[in-house]
Amino acid sequence: MAVETLRAMAYGGIYDHVGGGFSRYSTDAKWLVPHFEKMLYDNALLVSAYLDAYTAVGEETFAHVARETLDYVLEQMTDTQGGFYSAEDAGEVGQEGAFYVWSYAELEAALSKSELSALQHLFITPKEGNFEHGKIV
């Protein structure tokens, strides 16, 4: 059960597939839309859980998620003097999660046609969006 849960979390919306790390929780029953806040302690504990899962079953996905999460913590949650920030806030001025969501036009501008096609295949992203204001998580 733990392995299946970790696998679902790795492929779901609370895992940041672009920048690494985990949001605190999901705001919907399908675990697609995260509450965009990231906590240091959640990410530290999840790294440990993913490494335990990798050790137990040898599935490379678990090691990959642990590495990306550690990279995120070291790059985004570490201050210049070597300390750690406790959290990354969910809110942006005017729109929660604005840093993490895209319009379809923004995706078209940023990705090649094959990349956009792969994104749509993997994450089933509707052109009209799956989040507030027509944005795509």
- Separation between Cα atoms, residue 5 and residue 40, nearest integer Å: 20
pTM attached to this predicted model: 0.83
pLDDT digits (tens, 9 = 90+) for 5-40: 999 999 999 999 989 999 999 988 888 889 889 999
pLDDT digits (tens, 9 = 90+) for 28-72: 888 888 988 999 999 999 999 999 999 999 999 999 999 999 999
- Separation between Cα atoms, residue 69 and residue 47, nearest integer Å: 7
Long-range pairs for 104-111 at CB < 8 Å and ≥24 separation?
A: 104/128, 104/129, 104/134, 104/136, 107/136
Among residues 136, 114, 23, which one has the least CA distance to residue 10?
23
